[in-house]
Amino acid sequence: MQALYAQLLVGLINGSFYALLSLGLAVIFGMLNIINFAHGALYMMGAFVAYFLLNLGGISYWWALLLAPIIVGIFGMILERTMLKFLTGLDHLYGLLLTFGIALIVQGVFQNFFGSSGLPYAIPDQLKGGMNLGFMFLPIYRGWVVIFSLVVCLATWFLIEKTRLGAYLRAATENPTLVRAFGINVPRMITLTYGLGVGLAALAGVLSAPINQVRPLMGADLIIVVFAVVVIGGMGSIMGSIITGFALGVIEGLTKYFYPEASNTVVFVLMVLVLLVKPTGLTGRAA
C-alpha cells in the first residue's frame, strides 16, 4: 500500500510536466489554431538556455526560471512573425507540417553541436536533499516541481479565462475583424500569445533540466505523449489539459508499478479508448 502512495506521488510529478507542456499547446491551439509540433524542441531549448546561462554566464537556476522562458519566448515570437503568421486561415495540417519541420531543424542543430547523450545540470543547492515521508523518500526538488507547476498552470488559466487581457485574446480569436475595430492590435496579441505558449514550454524545460539530462532529443521523446494528453483532454481546452496532464502522469506511474513494460504505451491506449467514446476529448467542445 505504501508503495502505491509513492507511485501516485511520482506520477503527479511527471504529470506536472505533462500539464505545463499541454497547457502551452492548448493556449497556442486555442488562440492561434496552430498544432505546435515545435513545442518539444522549444522545451528542449529552455533546458539548454538554462545550461548556458549557468555555465557561460554563471547565472543561477532561479534566474534561469525567469530568463529562459523570456529568451525562448522571444525566439518563438520571431518564428511566429517570420513564418507562422502566413498560415492564418489555412488548414491545420500546414501548421503541423511547418512546426514539425522547425522542430527537426532545431533538434538537428543542437544534436550536431552537443551530441545526443546530454549535458549535466545540477539541482540548485537550496533544493537539494529530500524528506522521508514515511511511505517514500521525496526529493525536495520534485516536490518543488509539483507545487511550482501547479501555481503556473492556475495563473495561466486565470490570465486567460478571468482577466480582461484574456477576454480580448479570446475575442480576437473568435472574431478578429470586430476586435480590430475596437482599436486592438490583433496580430501583436497573437504574437504575444505564441510567445506565452512557447515560454511555458521553455519553463518546463528549465524545471526538467536538473532531473533529466539536458539532451537535444528530450523534447522529441516527450512531445508525442504530450500530444496524446492534449487529445485526451480536448484540443484547446485550458483546464482540460491541466487536469488531464496531472491525471495521465498518475496513471502512467501506476502502470510502471503494476506492469512496467506497458508504461510507454498506456497513454496511447487511453487515447484510443477516449476517442472511441468521445471524439472531441474529455473536455473538448465540438468544432
Partner 1 sequence: MKKSIASLLLGTALAVTTAGAAFAQDKTVKIGALSDQSGLYADLGGPGSTLAAQMAVEDSGLAAKGWKIDIISGDHQNKPDIGTAIARQWFDVDKVDIIVDVPNSGVALAVNNVVKEKNGVYINSGAATSDLTNAQCSPNTVHWTYDTYMLAHTTGQALVKAGGDTWFFLTADYAFGAALERDTTAVITANGGKVVGGVKHPLNTPDFSSFLLQAQASKAKIIGLANAGGDTTNTIKQAAEFGIVKGGQKLAALLLFLTDVKAIGLETAQGLNFTETFYWDMNDQTRAFSKRFSEKMKNGAMPTMVQAGVYAGVRHYLKALDGLGGNPHDGVKVVEKMKSMPTEDDLFGKGEIQPNGRTIHNAYLFEVKKPSESKGPWDFYKLVGTVPGDQAFTPLSESKCALLKK
CB of 237 to partner 1, least distance (A): 26
Contact 233, 114 (CB under 8 A): no
At which residue does the C-alpha cell 504575444 appear? 192
112 binds partner 1 (CB under 8 A): yes
Task: Annotate each residue in 132-161 with x if it binds partner 1 (CB under 8 A) or - if it does not, as one string.
Answer: ----xx-x-xx-------------------
Pairing of strands 130-132, 137-139: antiparallel
From 95-103, 128-136, 165-173, 198-206, span contacting partner 1 (CB under 8 A): 128-136
The three cell numbers of residue 63 are 534566474
Q: What are the residue ranges of helices labelled H in 163-217? A: 164-174, 176-181, 186-208
Start-to-end C-alpha separation, the chain = 43
Of residues 202 through 241, those in contact with partner 1 by CB under 8 A are: 211-213, 215, 217-218, 221-222
Q: What are the residue ranges of helices labelled H in the chain? A: 2-32, 39-57, 61-82, 92-114, 140-162, 164-174, 176-181, 186-208, 218-233, 238-258, 266-277
CB of 283 to partner 1, least distance (A): 26
For residue 139, what are the β-bridge partners? 130
Residue 231: CB partners within 8 Å, gap ≥ 6?
271, 274, 275, 281
14 binds partner 1 (CB under 8 A): yes
263 vs 280 by CB, closer to partner 1: 263
117 vs 177 by CB, closer to partner 1: 117
How many residues touch partner 1 (CB under 8 A)? Answer: 42
28 binds partner 1 (CB under 8 A): no
- Which listed residue (58, 117, 164, 277) binds partner 1 by CB under 8 A? 117
Of residues 246 through 275, those in contact with partner 1 by CB under 8 A are: 253, 256-257, 260-261, 263-264
Give the residues lining the site for partner 1 (CB under 8 A). Answer: 2-3, 6-7, 10-11, 13-14, 111-120, 122-123, 129-130, 136-137, 139, 141-142, 211-213, 215, 217-218, 221-222, 253, 256-257, 260-261, 263-264
